């Protein structure tokens, strides 16, 4: 047992939703005291760093209700039950941007907010992009606008907080660091 591990003695499922579930755990701490932990359960997600042959990053602008504003992000989406993450990446790239890729390379995975959520994002690099047939972008409840930015332009958008989410900031800096 890890010296920092907390033993769960009871779990109360508070909410089961389409995207997340919420649980409250009663735990015994390493010092034998008790506490409560509010935990958001998420099935996991993928994010896609897709770059054109001209070196532009494919992004979408969309309204994010929790933030009360629109932000510019790389394409991303949640894993569906039983779906391989690379298949999710291919599906989300096409649905959100109208682009497909002949190759997806896994870059890394990371937890988004480990203090209260178990969501893990797998970041993929999409290579050899091509446009698919005309289609409407986004799901029925998703309204997106396609945007293409150079990494330098994306840095300016980060400074202006037009790009303001961790997955996209992470991908932009990865693109700059690796010169993909």
Same domain, 35 and 86: no
Same domain, 26 and 71: no
With a CB cutoff of 8 Å and minimum separation 6, the contacts of 157 are 72, 149, 163
pLDDT of residue 9: 98
pLDDT of residue 142: 73
With a CB cutoff of 8 Å and minimum separation 6, the contacts of 7 are 27, 28
Residue 2: inside a domain: no
Closest CA to 52 of 145, 127, 146: 127
Q: What is the CATH number of the domain that holds 162?
A: 3.90.79.10
The series of mean pLDDT values per 10 residues for the chain, 180 residues long, is: 91 97 98 97 98 95 94 96 96 95 97 97 97 68 89 96 95 85
Same domain, 78 and 37: no
Same domain, 96 and 21: no
Same domain, 71 and 118: yes
Range of the domain at 169: 45-178
pTM: 0.91
Same domain, 16 and 52: no
Are 137 and 146 a contacting pair, CB within 8 Å? yes
State the angle between helix axes of 151-159 and 166-178 in degrees (0 to 180), rounded to the nearest 10: 140
Same domain, 99 and 64: yes
Closest CA to 122 of 71, 176, 179, 77: 77
């Amino acid at each position: 047992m890890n010296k920092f591990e907390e033993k769960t003695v009871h779990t109360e499922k508070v909410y089961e939703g389409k995207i997340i579930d919420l649980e409250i755990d009663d735990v015994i701490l390493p010092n034998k005291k008790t506490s409560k932990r509010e935990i958001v359960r998420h099935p996991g997600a993928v994010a896609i760093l897709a770059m054109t042959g001209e070196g532009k990053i494919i992004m979408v602008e969309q309204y994010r209700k929790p933030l009360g504003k629109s932000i510019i992000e790389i394409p991303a989406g949640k894993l569906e039950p039983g779906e391989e993450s690379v298949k999710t990446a291919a599906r989300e790239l096409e649905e959100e941007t109208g682009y497909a890729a002949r190759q997806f390379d896994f870059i890394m995975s990371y937890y988004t907010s480990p203090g209260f959520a178990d969501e893990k994002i797998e970041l993929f690099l999409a290579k050899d992009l091509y446009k698919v047939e005309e289609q409407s972008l986004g799901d029925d409840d998703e309204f997106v606008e396609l945007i293409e930015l150079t990494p330098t332009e994306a840095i300016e958008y980060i400074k202006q907080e037009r790009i303001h989410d961790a997955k996209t900031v992470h991908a932009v800096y990865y693109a700059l660091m690796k010169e993909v």
